[in-house]
Amino acid sequence: MKQCVNPALSEAIEAAGSILALARFLRVADASIHTWCQKGTVPPFHADRIEKEYGIDRRQLASKDTVWPEDGFDAVRDKLGECIGEQLQ
């Protein structure tokens, strides 16, 4: 099995049975899974689907910068403020 930077993604691949099986489940190209393995993050939409199907925490799959709906308005505001601050520097 392909070694991933992110152990949670390796766990998802193992749970699915293979990279190809995970790609089919998510309806993405297997090259996408390889890219995610190298980058260490999964897009939030797919991380959510993996969590629902395999029980692997989406917060461990997606970027640490991802703001989830249950995080609430304050988290969104704080993240937006960080992004705006970076743009102004």
CA distance 54 to 77: 31
pTM attached to this predicted model: 0.79
Q: Which CATH number fits domain 7-64: 3.40.50.150, 1.10.3720.10, 1.20.1420.20, 1.10.260.40?
A: 1.10.260.40
Q: What is the pLDDT of residues 2-53, one digit of tens each?
A: 579 999 999 999 999 999 999 999 999 999 999 999 999 999 999 999 999 9
Other beta carbons less than 10 A from residue 61's beta carbon? 25
79 pLDDT above the threshold of 90: no
Alpha carbons 19 and 24: distance in angstroms, whole number: 9
Alpha-carbon distance values, 34 to 21, 39, 50, 64 (Å):
13, 9, 16, 19
Q: Which residue has the higher pLDDT, 67 or 55?
A: 55
User: So where are the chain's domains?
Assistant: 7-64
**Reduced to 3 states, what is the DSSP secondary structure of residue 22?**
helix
